Amino acid sequence: MRVSNRKRVLVTGGAGFLGSHLCERLLLDGCDVLCVDNFYSGTKDNVTHLIGNPHFELMRHDVTFPLYIEVDEIYNLACPASPIHYQWDPVQTTKTSVHGAINMLGLAKRTKAKILQASTSEVYGDPEVHPQQESYWGHVNPIGIRSCYDEGKRCAETLFFDYRRQHDLGIKVVRIFNTYGPRMHPNDGRVVSNFIVQALRGENITIYGDGSQTRSFCYVDDLIEGFVRMMATSHEITGPFNMGNPVEFTIKGLAETVLNLVGGPSKLVFKPLPQDDPKQRQPDISLVRAKLGWEPKIPLEEGLDQTVNYFRRFLGI
């Protein structure tokens, strides 16, 4: 018999960049939150301030192994998301996406919990369609150095929809486009954190390629709002939905914006583009606008300012 009416929510990868922000939001919304992480790319520092909250629990656990708990909702965010981290142990990255999905779907089936999969724009690969719509099946190299992540996430989506078809499970799938904000890892190799850290240290800013490739940058608070809205939808709404900022920026333009915010002596330095690095990333968010009434609200410069301030404190600069 339930004693509390509080919703019991599991966040896998909860000590990561996105997961820690999601845990904060769920606590504010009055949930009991179980944060599960193996601390491969996440860190306790991201959630230390939550540990005193009686409605927050932190557990060290790897989702490639089953978890036996009682929950009402599951946000499956577990998986290193930056190339530096997911290419370090590519076999484990694939296992985290695939075995992790199987274990969390099994848990959701047993407990009749709703479950949200944090998928990725990387399911589109190096897209031949621009901007990317959810109906596009992608252009992915299945044997490249990014495949452990790209194909792992694609397989996880397959599993989610097969569990839906076979067991009528309450699934939600969102495809995350580039997201940034406080608590990004300073050495994760992503352009926003790379550029800010290099600029704050007075180092030259490294651009791979000629800087004409594009990305779309969504501030973390906007994305978390999208997650929560998606989880609250009815059983019939499954996604996949793109979640990201539809405003497109060149990498060179981002570097110049960061330099303007930070100041200092840094200059732009250009290096060869890595293998299979996508040339374009821009979400079509028509579906999520129509179904959830969601779109990003925070402009790039405002979000970058918050992120720069975080890294100033983090680096002691």
CA distance 234 to 226: 15
Q: Is 125 left (phi over 0), alpha (psi -120 to 50) or beta?
A: left
Residue 219 annotated to the active site: no
Write the CA distances from 294 to 24, 108, 117, 272, integer angstroms: 20, 26, 18, 37
Helices (H) and strands (E) in the chain, counts: 9, 13
CA distance 247 to 122: 18
Q: Do residues 140 and 151 lie in contact, with contact meaning Cβ atoms separated by under 8 Å?
A: yes
CA distance 107 to 101: 10
CA distance 279 to 70: 43
For residue 150, the Cα-to-chain-centroid distance in whole angstroms is 13
CA torsion, points 221, 227, 232, 233, in degrees to nearest 10? 130
Out of 40, 75, 86, 149, pick the active-site residue. 149
The residues annotated with a catalytic role in the active site are 149
